[in-house]
A and B are shown apart, each in its own frame.
Chain A
Amino acid sequence: MSVADSIRDRVGSDSDPNDGAGSGLKLVTLLTYLFLYGPILVVVLMSFDAGRYGLRWDFTTEWYASLATRSDLIDSLWLSIQIGIVVMIISTVLAVVAAFGLSRFDWPKRKGPIATYLIFVPLTLPIIIYGIGLYVFFTQLGIGRGFFPIVVGHVLYTLPFATLVVGAGVIGLDRTLEEAAMDLGADPLTTFREVTLPALMPNIVAAALFSFTLSFDEFLISFFVSGGGAVPLPVRIWGMVRADIEPEVYAISVVVLLISIAIAGMATRLRRF
């Protein structure tokens, strides 16, 4: 207990940080959470609403039932999951390799920061620029739009995030464990497989989950390079919202939100902060 605390105790002042201003702060904090989650709640409410807008709200599950008949939405959902899985695998493998390259390799002066910048430039430049660039690029190559360009775009988009998550683990790794394994006669490969990889697993799994959910929810890159039968779910949803609000849009959105919240929740718990 500090001197200030003991004086405060004796004087009986009200300046204990947990009351007074604390309650005002609590209220504003609560309002901020309401701001963050209100719209998500609205989507859920609307998905069960028989009418459209307004304060009148009648419960129905018909929009969820009619989702089953929307083969376009089901196809897009399935496509988004497929893209997500492919992107997740490629991105995670590359992220593990890149994370070791960035943190374990004794870079000559200046080249290290350059490599770091190269990997993290995609985090800085507006995604719309990349989406358009990729569209022009694949059109010039004669490949056009479709599954492959989407996967390429999503891998490059998720890679920096995945590298950061794995990299945090590599930096935080206790090197003495690996050294102990080596001293006990394990060759580098065995050490990596038996010691390094298991120790990094939480970060690797988190990186994989983040890659999946980022790809699953990604819209702008897909918007420019999707087509030819390959329309991921966010692009399909965009079309629904732009045309006129079809009531099923809220039901399919709740499905999307549940998938991403579950995956992001798992990843956030695994990630070392």
Chain B
Amino acid sequence: MSSQDDVATDPVRSQRTPETGTLRERILEWADSEVFKGSISLGPVLILLTVFYAVPVALLLIYSIFVEDPFASGLTFEHFGRFIDVSAITSLQFGELSYVRLLGRSIGIAVIVTVLSLVISYPITYYLGQYAPERWKIALVMLVIIPFWTSYLIRTYAWIPILSNNGFINSALTTVGLPTLPLLNNYIGSIIGLVYVFVPFTILPLYASMEGLDSSLIEAARDLGASRWEAFREVVFPLTLPGALAGGVFVFIKTAAAYVTPSLLGGTSGRMYAQVIENQFGTAFNWNFGAALAVILVVVVLGTIWIAMRWGIDVKGSRGLGGGGL
């Protein structure tokens, strides 16, 4: 949306120079000015964003640094201390670091889900971008986008009858005489569900890169003696990696904060960080500690984006692709 350039190069606007005149002319001039139009058009939206987005989120930050009720009780870092659990560190009881470990596990799951999403995204986007017949392309891409905009809640619990002990996969395994696999209520369930829900976040930006890739580069590599795999590894992969990583950052962020999927498919060993945040508000009623846990998650997310941007990944470029929430 960097359309400021758009306006800057607009000949009509740049020719218009401010002139002094009667009061009426000056009012009209002002009403036509960029500042006035800008505040009229963006003012209401920015006020709404401040009151109903920034304030609620900031409220969590405030809650996290008070003992109990904000401004009615003392300032404290005890909630963050509880997260880190200093006493457990000093007593070398690393098994007790439950919140840190849970965050670590969530980040670990997020890394796995991101890598799997990228692995799944490469073949389909390579096909869609380079091989798919032109007249089918739009329909095929639409087929990727549509699940994206449908209920992730329904698409997630759809995996329960597939993965459960008497579900589709295990029934099939039993029929052919193989032992059943524990796929549900553990981290495998969480990972499968998360990859499923988030893989369009990597497919769509990667498709854009594949589509823009000049196919004569692949031909050139092949003519110079590269095998198909070498051509992919040496030409296609490096040129499309930026698109893949932009989507990957989003998958990582969304997975690290996932709540619905681990709740439905993860069980105890697939339990993730966002679930303990919800727990503090839903059942434990410790808003201050819950808010501190939420602030830590925001720091992780913003830190990821900051690192990604320092690595030169175009995070902003893939933002608008997101549907399906979470």
Within 8 A of A (CB), among B270-326: 274, 277-278, 281, 287, 290-291, 294, 297-298, 301, 305, 316, 319-320, 322-326
Given contacts A128-B259, A132-B290, A39 and B155 within 8 Å (CB-CB) = yes
Given contacts A129-B57, A217-B152, A234-B153, A265 and B281 within 8 Å (CB-CB) = no
Q: How far is the CB of B294 from chain A (nearest CB, A)?
A: 5
Given contacts A43-B154, A128-B277, A35 and B196 within 8 Å (CB-CB) = yes
Q: Interface-forming stretch among A67-75, A81-89, A134-142, A190-198?
A: A134-142
Tell whether B59 is near chain A: CB-to-CB under 8 Å.
yes
Tell whether B269 is near chain A: CB-to-CB under 8 Å.
no
Contact with A along B156-194 (1 / 0, CB 8 A): 011111101011100110010000000000000000000
Q: How far is the CB of A36 from chain B (nearest CB, A)?
A: 5
Contact of A2 among B56, B199, B219 (CB under 8 A): B219
Count contacts on B: residues with CB < 8 A to the other chain.
105
Contact of A264 among B145, B291, B301 (CB under 8 A): B145
Given contacts A107-B38, A253-B151, A135 and B281 within 8 Å (CB-CB) = yes
Complexed CA–CA distance, A179 and B15 (Å): 14
Report yes or no: B45 in contact with A98, Cβ–Cβ below 8 A: yes
Contact of A136 among B38, B56, B161 (CB under 8 A): B56
Q: Interface-forming stretch among B18-26, B75-83, B93-101, B121-129?
A: B121-129
Q: How far is the CB of B284 from chain A (nearest CB, A)?
A: 13
Contact with B along A226-264 (1 / 0, CB 8 A): 000000001001100110010001000100110011011
Q: How far is the CB of A246 from chain B (nearest CB, A)?
A: 12
Report yes or no: B53 in contact with A171, Cβ–Cβ below 8 A: no
Q: Secondary structure of the A side of the interface?
A: helix
Count contacts on A: residues with CB < 8 A to the other chain.
103
Report yes or no: B325 in contact with A25, Cβ–Cβ below 8 A: no
Tell whether B49 is near chain A: CB-to-CB under 8 Å.
yes
A55 contacts across to B, CB distance below 8 A: 168, 171-172, 175
Q: How far is the CB of B57 from chain A (nearest CB, A)?
A: 5
Report yes or no: B278 in contact with A106, Cβ–Cβ below 8 A: no
B12 contacts across to A, CB distance below 8 A: 179
Report yes or no: B162 in contact with A39, Cβ–Cβ below 8 A: yes
Contact of B53 among A42, A106, A156 (CB under 8 A): A156
Tell whether A12 is near chain B: CB-to-CB under 8 Å.
no
Q: How far is the CB of A121 from chain B (nearest CB, A)?
A: 7
Contact of B147 among A37, A122, A210, A213 (CB under 8 A): A37
Count of A-B contacts with CB under 8 A?
296
Report yes or no: B325 in contact with A218, Cβ–Cβ below 8 A: yes
Complexed CA–CA distance, A137 and B57 (Å): 9
Q: How far is the CB of B172 from chain A (nearest CB, A)?
A: 7
Q: How far is the CB of B87 from chain A (nearest CB, A)?
A: 27
Given contacts A137-B56, A214-B325, A126 and B274 within 8 Å (CB-CB) = yes
Complexed CA–CA distance, A155 and B45 (Å): 11
A167 contacts across to B, CB distance below 8 A: 1, 3
A22 contacts across to B, CB distance below 8 A: 127, 131
Complexed CA–CA distance, A154 and B278 (Å): 19
Query: Most chain-A Cβ atoms within 10 A of its Cβ — which of B147, B215, B256?
Result: B147
Contact of B166 among A40, A53, A94 (CB under 8 A): A53
Tell whether B7 is near chain A: CB-to-CB under 8 Å.
yes
Given contacts A102-B42, A126-B274, A132 and B60 within 8 Å (CB-CB) = yes
Complexed CA–CA distance, A128 and B171 (Å): 35
Contact of A40 among B46, B155, B167, B305 (CB under 8 A): B155
Contact of A97 among B45, B145, B157, B160 (CB under 8 A): B45
Report yes or no: A42 in contact with B127, Cβ–Cβ below 8 A: no
Chain B contacts to A: CB under 8 angstroms? 1-4, 6-8, 10, 12-13, 34, 37-38, 40-42, 44-46, 48-49, 52-60, 63, 120, 123-124, 126-128, 130-131, 142-155, 157-162, 164, 166-168, 171-172, 175, 196, 199-200, 215-216, 218-220, 222-223, 228, 253-254, 256-257, 259-260, 263-264, 274, 277-278, 281, 287, 290-291, 294, 297-298, 301, 305, 316, 319-320, 322-326
Task: Give 29 A-B contacts (CB < 8 Å), ordered by A residue.
Answer: A17-B131, A22-B127, A25-B127, A33-B143, A35-B199, A39-B155, A40-B150, A53-B161, A94-B48, A105-B7, A105-B34, A106-B13, A107-B38, A124-B319, A125-B301, A127-B257, A128-B278, A132-B278, A133-B57, A133-B294, A157-B325, A161-B320, A164-B319, A167-B3, A217-B324, A245-B160, A261-B150, A264-B150, A268-B149
